[in-house]
Chains A and B, each alone.
Chain A
Amino acid sequence: MKAKKVLSAVLALATLVSMSACGTSKSSGTSGADSGSSAVPNIYDIKLGEDYKDIKADLTFLTHRTDIADTVFADYIKKFNELYPNIKITYDALTDYAEEATVRLTTDDWGDIMMIPTTVQKNELPNLFVSFGKLDDLNKVYNFNNNFAYKGNVYGIASVGNAQGIVYNKKVFEAAGVTSLPKTPDEFLDALQKIKDKTDAIPMYSNYAAGWTMGAWDAYIGGSATGDADFMNVKLPHMKNPFSKKDDMTGPYAVYYVLYEATKRGLIEDDPTTTDWEGSKGMINRGEIGCMVLGSWAIVQMQQAGDNAADIAYMPFPISVGGKQYASAGPDYCYGINKKVSTDEQIAAMLYIKWLTEKSNFAYDQGGIPIDKTQKYPDTLKAFDGIELVVDTPAPEGEETLFNDLNTASELGINSSNDKKSEILEAAMNGTKTLDQIMDEWNQKWTAAQEKYKVEIKY
Chain B
Amino acid sequence: MMEDGMGKASSLKKIFGMGKGQRILVIVTFMFLPLLLLFVFTYLPFFKMFQFSFYDMKYIGKREWVGLQNYIDVFTRDDCFKALKLCFYYMAGAIVQLAIALYFATVLSFKVKGGAFFKGAMFFPSLICGIAVGFIFKFFYTRGFVLDTVLSWLGFAKESLPYWLKDTSINNFSLAATSVWKYMGQNMVLFIGAIMSVDKELYEAAMIDGANAWNKFRYIILPSIKSIVVLNLILSITGSISAFEPPYVITNGTNGTGTYFVIMDRIAHQNQKVGLASAMAIVLLGILILCTIAQKVILNVLFNDKTESYSRKALKKMRKEERLKRKEAREAARA
Residues of A within 8 A of B (CB): 1, 4-5, 12, 15, 99, 102-103, 105-106, 119-121, 123-124, 128, 208-209, 211, 270-274, 276, 408, 411, 413, 416-419, 422-423, 426, 429-430
**Which among B100-108, B182-190, B250-258 touches the partner chain?**
B250-258
Q: Does B260 contact A (CB under 8 A)?
A: no
Q: How far is the CA of A64 from the CA of B314 in the complex (A)?
A: 63
Partner of B271, one of A4, A120, A417: A417
How far apart are the CA atoms of A105 and B251 in the complex, in Å? 27
CB distance B255 to A119 under 8 Å? Answer: no
Quick check: B142 and A419 within 8 Å, CB to CB? no
Task: Verify if B119 is at the interface (C-beta below 8 Å from A).
Answer: no
Whether B255 contacts A273 by the Cβ 8 Å rule is: yes
Q: Which 8 A-B pairs have the closest CB atoms?
A: A417-B270, A273-B165, A274-B142, A271-B143, A422-B254, A273-B166, A211-B252, A411-B271
Quote the shortest CB–CB distance from B274 to chain A (angstroms): 10
Q: Which chain B residue lies CB-closest to A105? A: B60
Contact A272 B270 (CB under 8 A): no
Known contacts A413-B271, A430-B168: A124-B254 contact under CB 8 Å: no
Complex: how many Å from CA A120 to CA B61? 9
Q: Are the C-beta atoms of A106 and B271 separated by less than 8 Å?
A: no
List of A residues within 8 angstroms of B165 by Cβ: 271, 273-274
Chain B residues near A426: list those with CB within 8 A. Answer: 254-256
Task: Indicate if the CB atoms of B58 and A273 lie closer than 8 Å.
Answer: no
Q: Please determine whether B271 and A102 come into contact, CB atoms closer than 8 angstroms.
A: no
Question: For the complex, is B219 an interface residue (Cβ under 8 Å from A)?
Answer: no
**What separation, in Å, do the CA atoms of A121 and B171 have in the docked complex?**
37
Tell me the minimal C-beta distance from A78 to chain B in angstroms. 33
B→A interface (CB under 8 Å): 15-16, 29, 33, 58-61, 138-139, 141-143, 145, 163, 165-166, 168, 171, 251-256, 258, 266-267, 269-273
Task: Give min CB distance, A154 to chain B, whole Å.
Answer: 19
Query: Shortest CB–CB separation between residue A244 and chain B, in angstroms?
Result: 23
Q: Is the CB of A124 within 8 A of B168?
A: no
In angstroms, Cα B58 to Cα A416, docked, is: 14
Closest to A11 in B: B29
CB pair A271–B163 under 8 Å, yes or no, is yes
B269 A102 Cβ-Cβ under 8 A: yes
Question: B272 touching A106 by the CB < 8 A rule?
Answer: no
Which of A103, A208, A411, A426 counts the most chain B CB atoms within 10 A?
A411
B residues in contact with A411, CB < 8 Å: 267, 271, 273
**If the complex has contacts A273-B166, A274-B165, are A106 and B270 also in contact, measured as CB distance less than 8 A?**
no
Contact B252 A271 (CB under 8 A): no
Closest Cβ neighbor of B273 among chain A residues = A408
Known interface pairs A211-B254, A270-B143, A273-B165; 12 further A-B residue pairs with C-beta atoms within 8 A, sorted by A's residue number: A1-B15, A124-B60, A271-B166, A273-B254, A273-B255, A274-B138, A274-B166, A411-B271, A411-B273, A418-B252, A419-B266, A426-B256
Output the nearest chain B residue to A421 by Cβ-Cβ distance: B254
Q: How far is the CA of A262 from the CA of B269 in the complex (A)?
A: 30
| A273 adjacent to B16 (CB under 8 Å) | no
CA distance A419 to B269 in the complex (A): 12
Please state if A209 and B61 are interface contacts (CB–CB under 8 Å): no
Known contacts A1-B15, A417-B270, A429-B166; is-contact A120 B60 (Cβ 8 Å):
yes
